[in-house]
Amino acid sequence: MSAEIKVPTLGESVTTATVAKWLKQPGDSVSADDPVAELETDKVSVEVPAPQAGVLGPLLVPEGAEVEVGTVLSTVEAGTGKPAAPVAKPAPAPAAGVQAQPLSTGPVARPATPASDVAAQGAAHAPFPAAQKIMTEQGVSATQVGTGSGKDGRITKGDVQAFLAQPRAATPTAAPRPPRQDDPREERVKMTRLRRTIARRLKDAQNTAALLTTFNEVDMSAVKAMRAEYKDAFAKKHNGAKLGFMSIFSRAVIAALQEFPAINAEIDGDDVIYREFVNLGIAVGGPNGLVVPVIRDADQKSFAEIESAIAGFGKKAREGTLKIDELSGGTFSITNGGIYGSLMSTPIINAPQSAILGMHSIQDRPVAVDGQVVIRPMMYIALTYDHRIVDGKEAVSFLVRVKQNVEDPRRLLLQV
């Protein structure tokens, strides 16, 4: 009895994946739920399990091919049998501009259009009604305007007006770029799907949002003293959870977001969506790059619950087991470059969010306190925000409030 191995449902808004690696080969014996293939989506890696015990059949899709949800990858024959035919090897990389068709020992799974291209095409042809009216009147196509600033890249009225306001200058024809000759000491490696998605999203954020960064510095003396005094009791009380800086900054940020709601808001076309909850994204490093899992309803969680969530996300990121729904729905993000030694940086927002807080390394520095120069553990913090929705006064005031909450954690308890 044969059972098909299909591409599973990948999560909300994710319809395609890349076959990153076959974990089993034709003829291998597998048990039910044994992982046989690894798929790479725009966000995470997903293992595909065997639907039953038996022998793995021919691999119908080679590594590197893009597949849609429901595509048959292989089969599992019940019982034991002769080894199946070997996996098809992908054709050599084609010349620039030519799309390769994967080979297989069975039916060909035609690669789907990359998710980034689908998103770009959909965004370029999804203007809001008001925008479409102006485009029709002016004879402008969605392709000319490009990706819009609305949700999911939709074109807004403001995008069209900004395009029409641009000077119409003849674009000189660029000289063709000669083919790059690889040095034998170089290694050419194809970007992973996750890395391509990160690059696209960060560039889209730069192109769409009016990004600005404001800085401040925090005296970490009170936090360090509090941790030293209570870390053992905290771990004993909360099943080994460590009292770290991230939970303290998270609570400080949540309190400040409740005071300055525009920083927790989102632009959707010509509307602003304000929220009465905080879904807090925490950037963590994984083997395939930086990912931002989300602590949902973080404003309802305690220090211990936030610490446990962050520790769990870090473990999953290292193991590559984060789920897609754990990486979506964030309303504000925190990234800590200090764990890598960064002294100061300008983080980029995680669109469609309107702001992100950057933490950095702690260094002993001389500062003036009550007219005296003293050495204190200091940290620079940075807030990058979308100036279209967040005013400079709000951004600076928000960062000052975060600073005050961290420098005097009693404010979080007293809610002042």
Answer yes or no: 387 catalytic.
yes
Per-residue CA distances from 325 to 18, 201, 318 (Å): 19, 18, 17
Structure tokens at 118: 């689908």
Distance CA(6)–CA(109), nearest Å, equals: 12
Distance CA(341)–CA(362), nearest Å, equals: 9
Burial class (CB in 10 A: 0-12, 13-18, 19+), 395: buried
DSSP for 395-415? HHHHHHHHHHHHH-THHHHHT
Distance CA(190)–CA(391), nearest Å, equals: 41
Burial class (CB in 10 A: 0-12, 13-18, 19+), 370: exposed
Distance CA(57)–CA(3), nearest Å, equals: 10
Answer yes or no: 238 catalytic.
no
Dihedral sign, Cα of residue 10, residue 14, residue 17, residue 21? negative
Q: Are 313 and 321 in contact (CB under 8 A)?
A: no
Distance CA(278)–CA(294), nearest Å, equals: 10
Check 152, 325, 364, 391 and give the catalytic one: 391
Strand partners, 186: none
Locate tokens 């969605």: which residue?
142
Q: Are 160 and 135 in contact (CB under 8 A)?
A: yes
Helix (H) or strand (E) holding 391: none
3-state secondary structure of 198: helix
Check 117, 297, 325, 387 and give the catalytic one: 387
Structure tokens at 42: 């725009």
DSSP for 11-53? -TT--EEEEEEESS-TT-EE-TT-EEEEEE-SS-EEEEEPSSS
Helix (H) or strand (E) holding 389: none
3-state secondary structure of 163: helix
Residue 338: CB atoms within 10 Å: 20
Distance CA(307)–CA(322), nearest Å, equals: 17
User: Active-site residue numbers?
Assistant: 387, 391
